[in-house]
Every structure is written in structure tokens, then in C-alpha cells.
Structure 1
Amino acid sequence: MIGQRITGIKRIVVIFMMLGLAIAPVQSFASVHSVTDSLVDMYEKSDNQQIRFEVLKKLSQISFESGDYLSAIDYISKESETYLSEGDSLSWANAQYNLGMIYSILRSFDKANFHSSLALIYFDRAGYKREAGNTFINLGFIYNELRENEAAIKYYERAESIFDSLSNHRDLEASYLNLGILRDKSMNFGPLRDGFERSQGFILQSNQVALIVIKTSLGKIYNSKNEILIAETYLSDALGHATAIGDKAYESIIRIGLGSVYLKKGNNQDALASLEAGLEIARQLKLNNVVLDAYTELASLSMKMGKSDLAYGYLNSYIQLKDSIYNEQISAGLSRAHFQPGIGTRELQAERLLRQNLEQALEIERNNNSKIALVGISFFVLMLLIIIFRKYYSKTRTYDNLEEKNKLIENQKSELENLIMTKDRFLSIIAHDLKNPFTSLLGFADLAYNEFDEITDAEKRSYLNIIRISSQQIYSLLDNLLTWSRAQSGRIDFKPEKVSLSELVENSIDVVRSSAENKQITLFKDFTKEVNVSADKNMLFTVLRNLLTNAVKFTPNGGSVTVSCNCNGNKAEIIVADTGVGMTQDEVSRLFKLDGNMKSSGTNNETGTGLGLILCQEFMNLHKSQIKAESVPGKGSKFSFTVDIV
């Protein structure tokens, strides 16, 4: 069978023997391009299905290891289709797991969650505990990056339970799950992995590696929640495992994490020793992102200890190393640079800490300069005060001019970054969000067809439900993409007319009634009188439909959604309120931003593209209004807007 799994060193050797390629890691983009072209040519010309399949797997491996993640996704998706055609469900599930990991690196967490969940359904049903544990780790990483700490902790603890129970099994296949933490873009994973596979006791150590990943992740999460004692326990346990198997890479990460914990506890000397030890290892292994983390923590520690000069040194080292990383990428001619993963939570926190340290250092410097100036002024005679005043006035004007120019530059930079992020987000949706539901639809349709007699009625219903959801997702995505594109290009017509608000609300409720009934959600319309408004009927219907759809999506079973209207003068305020899961103030502030990453799953794992609310806000802007959002976590959300009464 083509889908038969070949793992570890055996798989790599078979591929190289069949293709006649030298066993050496790819070092540059030029060599990657050359090897890839040769493999693609071989794939297209060969009639041997076994060779074509092995070439496809090699292309996936090269694309991933060279950082060309989008190509890796395409190749792995083709592998998945081949597995389905061969009826190899286990290999298909492994492909879904790999897609989930890559989408995690790309920070496309809705797709990462989707593919990982597909893999988990099969692994759990078929009793593949280790594979299920691996998938729990990836899901933990996804929810950690989404800052949903409780969900992340739940998945990591389930993974921990599995790997603890498997710790005495000697016949387990090793897997590489360091992506959740060791995502250093400057690190060459190939030689490290090959060396680890060659080491004695590789299979036994793989369980230790998984436990290190889990405990390190849990330690970092609890540290972010300021639950210091729990964080220290997990990180200390992880450090013991890492030193026991000689995993220096994780040792550096864990020591820096412990340094952050000691810093919060006020143990400055322990923090300094741990951070310096982690920094030294990271430098030796050239883990540049880990080195950057160490610099930010050491700068913070130096400021706390009153050593501003030392803090300046660490901040300067941080800036130089980051510039060096960018320059290396540019000089290497990485044409895929714009596909690199976005900035994660850890990097945003490091940047924020860097700015705080710099502001503190500047404040200390200003204070020192002020003291020196006061001492100097005491030695001047009264007649020199006029000269000092004029110089001070001149410097103040110069400083004000510079500050205005800096603000102008920062505003222009921010606008340019927003445009770039908007473009990249839109291209990402077009390139991948359309393909994702099609893969699920075709995959489960083929799976149900090939295994129709073996699966239960409940499983058939589950597969049909996934196919139905994928179809609805495709339609919703296409509708939102086309409408949003027309709005951005100014090709959408705004035609206000007299509209019966009560009738339009009733029609909107009918659209979501079926979804609400499936979740036992009660829909209410609270109108005290008939109201006619001036609005574009199609746009207003789209806004109401999107708000009601989101309300049902984020309301748990048995809840309620209410649409009400308040009239004040010549304005009608329409309110859509739910008793759902609610949002934090930070989440509310990011609702209407294309780069806000607000593509959360609903209470029944419903998915979306994140374009709906943005499109609705654009429509209300045309009505000279805007959508306002209020929310309380655990109690529900309320969205409102106003239109003119006629």
C-alpha cells in the first residue's frame, strides 16, 4: 500500500535510495530551489506511483525544513488525498496532524485547530494514545497563543497524563513536538534531529522530550498568570528531565523561564544566575530567539537592580541581534520572507518589555541630567541666567520639532504596517481559507464512502455534520469575501430607502432560527411599536444577519438572544444581546480590525473567517453610524447601532 508508514531513519534512507539523492541537509534557498525543481520534474515525469508518492513526501519534508510552509501545506494536502484514495485512514490522520502543526507555525490558529481536531477524532477512536497525546500538545500550544489559558492547560494536562502512562513502553515511535516552543527561525532542525535519532535510547528519550514540552509550556502559562509557585514547580521538573537526557536546547529555554519566575519572586541573584546560564547555552546553539528573550529579561532585572548602564547594554545587544537576523534573511535572498509566521504572544511581550525598560532607562538618564544641571546652575552668576534661558528655549523648540517629526514618522509607519497586514490577511484568506473546508468536505465524504459498512450510524451522522458545516463555511466565506472586496474597491452601491424595521428583523431571525433550535437557544424580538427607517435594505439585512449569527454562535445551549429597538428623537437604536460566553475588553477592542486575530470558535466549535463584523462596520459607516460592542466574560455581549427614522 502506498500509504504504508516508513518512520525515522528508515523512512529517510528509503527515500534517498529511491531518488538517488545525497544525504545532506539543504543549506541555502538556491540549493532548496534546485532540489525542489528536480523533485517536481521527477514527480511529473514518473509513471511509478510508489516513486511519485515518495517524491511527494520528500517535497513535503524539504519545504518544511527550509521554512517554505505554504508549499509544505500543498504537498501534505496532496499526500492526504492519496491516503484517502488508498483507504489509509491512519496516514490520513497523520497528515491532518502535520497540517495542524504547520498552521500553528503560520499562526493561522483556526485552521490549525480544525486539522488537529480531525486528527484527534481518529487517533482517539482508534486507540492511538501517543498520537493523541501529540495532538493534545499541539492544541495546547494553539490555545496558549490565543491566550485562552484554561483551555491550553486542559489540553497540556491531558497530554501529560497520556505520556506519563506510556513512560514504561519501549516500542513507541518518536515524534518531534518541539514546534510549540522551539520555533526559532534561525535554527537548523535537520542536524539536531538526525543527531538525536542516532543517539542511544532514542525511543525511550522521546517520551521525556514530550514531557519536557508539556511541563515547560505549563510552567510558562502559570508564570503569565502570576501563579509563581506552580510555574516554578513545572519548570524545575522540566529542567530535571532536560538535563537527564542532555537536551541543551530545552535547558536554555527552561533556565530563562525560571529566571523570569525568580525575578517575579524578588530572588535577583537566582534570577541572574539562571538567565546567564540559559543565555550561554542559547548562544552556543545559536538559538537567536531564545537569546532575544534572555536579553529582555536581563534588561528588566538590571533595571530592577538599579544598573541602568548594564540594562542599556542588554537593550543594545537585543537591537543588534534582531537587526542581524533581519539582515541575514535579506542577504540570503529569502523570497518566501513575506510568508514567515506572524509575531506571537511571546515576541509581543518581549517587545513590550523592551519598550518599558527603555523608557525607564531614559527616565533615569533625564533625572541624572537634571541633577547635574542643578549643580551647575548654582555656580553661575545671575547675569548668566538670561543666556541659560535662551539656550533652554532654543533646545525646547528643537526638541518639540523633533518630537513632532517623530510622531509623523510613527503615524506613517503605523499606517503602512496596517496596509501591509490588511493585504497579507486578505491574501491568506483567499489562498487557504477557501481550500480548507473543501479538504474537510472531500475528505470526510471519501472516508464515509470507503468505510460505510464499518462505521456506526453515529459516526455517519458525525461525518455528514462535518460535511454540512464545511459547505456552509464555504458559502459564508465566498459571500463575505466578495461583498468585502466590492466595498473596499468602492463598487458597492448604497441605496437608502424606507424600510420596515420590524419586518426586516423578523426575516433576519428566520435565517438563524434553525441554528438556534439545534442549540435550544430562544430568540426574542422586543419591539414596542412599528418603526420605519431610512437605510439600504440589503446592507441592513446583512448587518442584522451577521450579528444574530454571531450571537447564536457564541451562546451555549439553552441560552437566549434578544433583538430590541429604542427610539430617541429621529434615531432608532437596534440592539442584539445574547447570554453567551462574553469577551474581555481587549478582545472587544480588536473586533473590527482585520489584523485583530478574532477568529474564535463558537460554543459548538463553529468556525468563521473574521470578516463578518468588519464588513458590517463598513456598511454602518455608509449609514453615518457605527456598531458599538459591550461585553462581560461569562455573561454575554451586546451589539448596537443607530439608523434614521422616517
Structure 2
Amino acid sequence: MSIVADRAEQLVKEGRLTEAEQLFAQAVIGRQDPEAMNEFGWFLLQTGRLSYSESVFERLKRLAEAAGNDRWTAVALSGLGQVHDRLDQYEQAEREMRRSADLFLEEGDSANAAGVLSNLASVYVKKREFDRAETALLEALTNYEELGQSSQAAVVRGNLGVVYLRKGNLDKAEELLLGAASVFQGHEMSQEFASQLANLATINRRRSLFDEADAKLRHATEIYERLGLEPEIVGTLLSRSSVSFDRGAFAEAEDLLYDALEREGKISRPQVLTDIYMGLSRALEYRGEYEEAERLLRSAIGLSERFGLWHHVATGYAKLGRLFAGQGQIPPAREFLRAAEQGFEAIAAHEEAEQIRKALHALPDGERMSAQSSMAT
């Protein structure tokens, strides 16, 4: 099966995603091979085929449970948790990952348990439950340290740094991220080192050190280029576009986003495409191309609805509302902001829903908004 996986990975790098999927499917369909099913499920997950990935992991879970195999049940639950995390179904993802980690521990597999706990921490961060994220990561860190897996322990410390970053403790975050990066200092061309650079760039961005942030992201991009990691390159291009927006370099941000779009077109991950469309809509709005900005936002919403990315759907409606508000068109602005509020509440994103309510409250009565009361985008 590893030969099939290697060939599929090469096809993805060449932009031949459909061929890669067909190759994998032919090797898996009709077989009761848990290893093959797991590899196929993860392949689909990484390429954004979330519904298909979910069905494969569900099939693996049923097969494992019927055989009374707790280890493969844990593997399937881990995959399902990742799928539901990306679908913004955080409660379900949490249950699956927690059960997966428990099963791995019962099987005496503390390494895989630690990996699942690290992913669970990411879910907690998205739910803004930072203390629970920290607890999960500390448990994972203990497991890796007891196993003597220093590289994995360093990655977890970096993840702890991200938690502190989200909590606003930039000094502690920087300390942890620099410590994690130092472990890979002798392997400057490693994916792990590039990942820590990208996280450190976020701290620079929070401190308005935009040139330093961009330099780190450029360095990370160079590493990913040499490693042939196209999905990671797209991620750094998106991050660099955010830095460009922050410093008012809208044309630069637009160029970076079009570069990301061209690269992502070969991979076609719905969630990433949606992020790119939303970024481009911001650049187009700045240039006064409101109709094109609206078209991209509607495309982003449609794509997100098709793949069940409900947080992205709500975000898209929020951006549409602000786009119309910025033009002084109050009725459609109110309509889209209300849709955003309902969308965020439906997925228990209460803080974001509250921000939308504040935006709705700030809208003036009447059909149009004066220039003085225009909302910021």
C-alpha cells in the first residue's frame, strides 16, 4: 500500500489530483484492509475531500468495532475527529478525539495518544477554551518526554506557544516558539523549522513588526519550496497577504493571493479556496470593484455551503454585510449580517455572533448610511 500512497503523493505534487484519487480508490475499494482504508482516508482529508474522507473513516470504524479491535477503532476516531474539526463541528470532533486518545492509552500506545491530544488541543483553541488546550498539550508533552521523543516534544512546545499567542501572552509564546525552533536549528530545511518560523511571524505581526514577519514567512516559503510542499506554500502566501493588508500594501496582498490561487487550483481544497476568495474580495473592495468583490464572496459562501464549512459560510455573510455597509446600502447589509449572526450562533461561535450584533446595532436607521457613519471593513 505504501507504493500506492507514494505514487498518489507524487501525482498530487504534479497537480494530477483526480488521477491520485482514482489510484487510491482502486487500491482500496472492495478490500477489508484497515491500513489501506486509513491511508486513503488521510489522503482525502489532506486534499480537502472531507465528506468522502468521513465515509472512509466511518467504514474503518465499523470494520474495527465489528472485529473488536480497539486500536483500529482509535485510529478511525482520530481521523473522524480531524474531519469534523475541519468541518467546524467542534463538539463532535472533541468527543471523537477524546475517545481515540483514551483507547490508545488503554492499548499502551502513549505516542499515538499524544498525537491525538495535540490535535484535540487545536479544537479547544478554535473553541477559545485555552486552558483545556493547555492541559491537553501538557499531557501530550509528558507522553513524548517519557518516550524520549525530543522532536515531537518540541513540536508540542511550539503548539503551547500558539496557545499563549491566542491568549495574548506574546512574551511566553515567543519563549516557547523560539525554544521549539532551536531544537530544529541544525535542520534549517525541515518542515518543523519552517512551521515554527511561521508561528513566530504571527508574533511579529501582532507587534506590528511587519517587515520581520514577512521575512520569516519568506524564509518558511523557501523551505517549503525546496521540500516540494505545495499546500504549505499556499498557507504561507495567505499569511504573507495578511501581513501586506496590515501594512496597507493592498496591491502586494492581491498579487500574493493570486499566486496562492494559482497554486491551490492544482490541489483544490475547498476551505483554502474560500480563504483565498475572501482575501481577494478585500483587495477588490479596496480598489472600488464592489461587484467583483461581491461575486467572490458569494462564490466563497456557495463553496462553503457545498462542503459544510459553516464557520466559513457565516464569515462570508459577515463580509458581505460589511461590504454593503461600506457602500452605505443598509438593507442588504442588515440582511447579510443577520444571516452571519444566525450562522455563528448555530455553530456555538458566540463571541463572533456578539461581534455581529454590535455591528448590526451600529447600523443607522434608513435606507442609506452617511459617509461619517460608514463601517470599517
TM interval, shorter chain, is 0.5 to 0.7
Relative to structure 1, the CA distance from residue 227 to residue 60 in structure 2 (aligned partners, 3 Å threshold; closer, same or farther) is: closer
Give the aligned residue type for 1:288: V
Deviation at 1:141, TM superposition (A): 0.7
Alignment of 1:431-442 (within 5 A): none
Find the counterpart in structure 2 of residue 373 from structure 1.
none
Q: 1:215 to 1:295 in 2, by over 3 A?
A: farther
The equivalent residue for 1:326 is 261
The question of 1:35 aligning with 2:16 is answered no
The structure that has the greater radius of gyration is 1
- RMSD between aligned alpha carbons? 4.4
Partner residue of 1:115 out of 86, 93, 96: 96
Q: Secondary structure of 1:341's partner?
A: helix
Show structure 1 runs of 5+ residues with no match. Answer: 1-10, 168-206, 304-310, 363-402, 429-588, 602-646
1:163 Cα deviation (Å)?
Answer: 1.6
Bigger strand fraction: 1
Equivalent residue number for residue 173 of structure 2: 231
The 3-state SS of whatever aligns with 1:72 is helix
Q: Which residue of 2 aligns with 1:289?
A: 235
Correspondence 1:316 to 2:301: no
Which residue number corresponds to residue 126 of structure 2?
Answer: 145
The 1:61–1:422 alpha-carbon spacing in structure 2 relative to 1, beyond 3 Å, is closer
Counterpart-to-counterpart distance in 1, 2:34 and 2:100: 21
CA distance in 1, matches of 2:214, 2:295: 39
Residue in structure 1 matching 2:160, options 197, 218, 237: 218
* Structure 2 equivalent of residue 158 of structure 1: 139
Distance 1:121 1:22, change over 3 A: closer
Matches within 5 A, 1:203-214: 207-214=149-156
Q: Do the aligned partners of 2:241 and 2:256 also contact (CA within 8 Å) in 1?
A: no
Change beyond 3 A, Cα 1:70–1:210: farther
Structure 1 residue 26 displacement after superposition: 3.2
How far is the alpha carbon of 1:34 from its aligned partner? 3.6
Tell me if structure 2 keeps the 8 A contact 1:218–1:234.
yes
Q: Give the one of 5, 11, 25 matched to 1:26.
A: 11
How far off its partner does 1:63 sit? Answer: 3.1
- The alignment covers a number of residue pairs equal to 316
Q: Distance in 1 between matches of 2:38 and 2:194?
A: 32
Measure, in 1, the Cα distance between the counterparts of 2:79 and 2:111.
Answer: 15
Distance 1:316 1:255 in 2: 25
Contact 2:181 2:193 in 1 (8 A): yes
The reply on whether 1:240 has 2:182 as its aligned counterpart is yes
Deviation at 1:156, TM superposition (A): 1.7
Q: CA deviation at 1:592?
A: 5.1
Look up the equivalent residue of 2:11 and give its one-letter code: V
* Alpha carbons 2:245, 2:253 under 8 Å: kept: no
1:160 is displaced (CA, Å) by 1.8
CA–CA distance in structure 2, aligned partners of residues 253 and 293 of structure 1: 12
- Map 1:490-501; keep pairs closer than 5 Å: none
Aligned AA (1:12): S
Q: Which residue of 2 aligns with 1:254?
A: 196
The answer to whether 1:594 aligns with 2:353 is no
Does residue 12 of the first structure (1) align with residue 2 of the second (2)?
A: yes
Unaligned runs of 5+ in 2: 312-337, 351-377
> What CA deviation, in whole Å up to 9, does each residue of 1:315-365 have, x standing for no partner?
4343223224334555x5x7xx5x723789xx69x959x969x97xx9xxx
Q: 1:262 to 1:247 in 2, by over 3 A?
A: same
Distance in 2 between residues matched to 1:267 and 1:329, nearest whole Å: 28
Judging changes above 3 Å, is the alpha-carbon distance between structure 1 residues 93 and 237 closer, same or farther for their aligned structure 2 residues? same
- Decide whether aligned partners of structure 1 residues 60 and 91 sit closer, same or farther in structure 2, where only a CA change above 3 A counts: same
Q: Is the 8 A contact 1:32 1:66 kept in 2?
A: no
Deviation at 1:83, TM superposition (A): 1.6
C-alpha distance in structure 2 between counterparts of 1:65 and 1:299, whole Å: 28
Q: Residue 95 of structure 1: CA displacement?
A: 1.6
Residue 89 (structure 1) aligned with residue 31 (structure 2): no
The AA in structure 1 aligned to 2:84 is Y
TM-score by length of 1: 0.41
Q: Give a deviation string over 1:527-567, Cα, whole Å, max 9, x none.
A: xxxxxxxxxxxxxxxxxxxxxxxxxxxxxxxxxxxxxxxxx
- Is contact 2:34-2:72 (8 Å) kept? no
CA distance in 1, matches of 2:7, 2:303: 40
Q: Encode CA deviations 1:608-635: one digit per residue, 9 max, x unaligned.
A: xxxxxxxxxxxxxxxxxxxxxxxxxxxx
CA 427–214 in structure 1, closer or farther in 2 if over 3 Å, else same: closer
Q: How does 1:541-552 map to 2 (within 5 A)?
A: none
The SS at the match of 1:73 is helix
Which whole-Å CA distance do the structure 2 matches of 1:95 and 1:317 have between them? 42
Corresponding residue for 1:75? 56
Give the distance between the partners of 1:293 and 1:412, measured in 2 at CA: 23
| Cα offsets for 1:239-271 (capped at 9, x unmatched) | 112224455323233224324434555777865
Gap change, CA 1:252 and 1:316, over 3 Å in 2: farther
1:450 corresponding residue in structure 2: none
Letter matched to residue 598 of structure 1 = I
Q: Where do residues 429-578 of structure 1 align in structure 2 (5 Å cutoff)?
A: none
Change (3 A) 1:147 1:98: same
Query: Per-residue CA shift, 1:407-431, capped at 9, x if unaligned?
Result: x776677677656655654999xxx
For the residue of structure 1 that corresponds to 2:62, the secondary structure is helix
Q: CA deviation at 1:273?
A: 5.4
Find the residue that maps to 2:88 and give its secondary structure: coil
Tell whether the 8 Å contact from 1:591 to 1:598 is kept in structure 2 after alignment.
no
What corresponds to 2:355 in structure 1? none
Percent identity, please. 13
Deviations 1:491-545 (A, max 9, x none): xxxxxxxxxxxxxxxxxxxxxxxxxxxxxxxxxxxxxxxxxxxxxxxxxxxxxxx
Please give the alpha-carbon distance, in whole angstroms, between the structure 1 residues aligned to 2:224 and 2:9.
25
The answer to whether the 8 A contact 1:113-1:142 is kept is yes
Q: Which amino acid aligns with 1:31?
A: E
Per-residue CA deviation, residues 467-487 of structure 1 (Å, 9 max, x unaligned), is: xxxxxxxxxxxxxxxxxxxxx
What is the alpha-carbon distance in structure 1 between the residues aligned to residue 194 and residue 150 of structure 2?
Answer: 16
Q: Residues 61 and 160 from structure 1, CA distance in 2 versus in 1: closer, same or farther, beyond 3 angstroms?
A: closer
As a proportion of its length, which structure holds more helix? 2
Q: Which residue type is aligned with residue 223 of structure 1? A: L
CA positional deviation for 1:104: 2.4
- Which residue matches 1:200? none
Q: Partners of 1:259 and 1:240 in 2: how far apart?
A: 15
The CA distance in 2 between the partners of 1:69 and 1:132, in whole Å, is 23
Counterpart residue type for residue 120 of structure 2: L
Shift of 1:54: 5.8
Higher RCO (C-alpha 8 Å, min separation 6): 2
For 2:18 and 2:210, how far apart are their aligned partners in 1?
47
Say if 1:414 and 1:210 are closer, same or farther in 2 by CA, change over 3 A. Answer: same
Alpha-carbon distance between aligned partners in 1 of 2:301 and 2:215, rounded to the nearest angstrom: 41
Deviations 1:188-227 (A, max 9, x none): xxxxxxxxxxxxxxxxxxx344223322222233223331
Deviation string, structure 1 residues 571-614 (Cα, Å, up to 9, x no partner):
xxxxxxxxxxxxxxxxxx8995235562479xxxxxxxxxxxxx
Secondary structure, aligned partner of 1:235 = helix
Pairwise CA distance, 1:33 = 4.5
CA offset at residue 275 of structure 1? 5.0
